[in-house]
Amino acid sequence: MFFDVFNMYKQIDFFSETGSNFLNYNYLNEQYSYILYYGIISFGLCCILFVLAFILSPKDITFEKVSPYECGFEPFGDAHSIFSIQFFIVGILFMIFDLELAYLFPWIANLGNLCFFSFFIMFFFLLLLTIGLIYEWKKGALDWI
């Protein structure tokens, strides 16, 4: 396996004469190293794609590129027109329930190893979100959908 480099350092104590355990092998460090590798590879890939897009994109400026565009028509009216706040409310509700899933998936993955207190805390979290959704529904924030 690619990450078996860590197996070489399982029995090595680099600072045994000083008593420091700073570089001792630790299984937890191996688990977090995967996240570090993922971050480095993701950042590198983003940088490469950004540079490639900048290099390979056409640089000629035409009238169509610099002209304003609004659904195929020439723009009309003021750009600072007022629109309904319910678009923002729906966006905020989406973000709230999207973050709920981000907290819910790790909890489900470790459900067999968790105590009753962890179950109660997540139940309370979901109960608060459900009460918030019912409140928004009763206030009429979702009536236009």
| Tens-place pLDDT, residues 89-116 | 778 888 887 888 888 888 888 888 888 8
- Residue count (the chain): 145
Grade residue 86 by pLDDT with cuts at 50, 70 and 90: confident
Is pLDDT of 11 > 50?
no
pLDDT score at 42 = 95
The answer to pTM > 0.75 is no
Spatial distance between the Cα atoms of 33 and 4, rounded to a whole number of angstroms: 12
Percent of the chain with pLDDT over 90: 15
Spatial distance between the Cα atoms of 47 and 43, rounded to a whole number of angstroms: 6
SS3 for 23-48 is CCCCHHHHHHHHHHHHHHHHHHHHHH
Grade residue 1 by pLDDT with cuts at 50, 70 and 90: very low
Single-letter residue type at 131: I
Dihedral over Cα of 115, 117, 120, 126: its sign: negative
pLDDT score at 73 = 65
Spatial distance between the Cα atoms of 70 and 53, rounded to a whole number of angstroms: 25
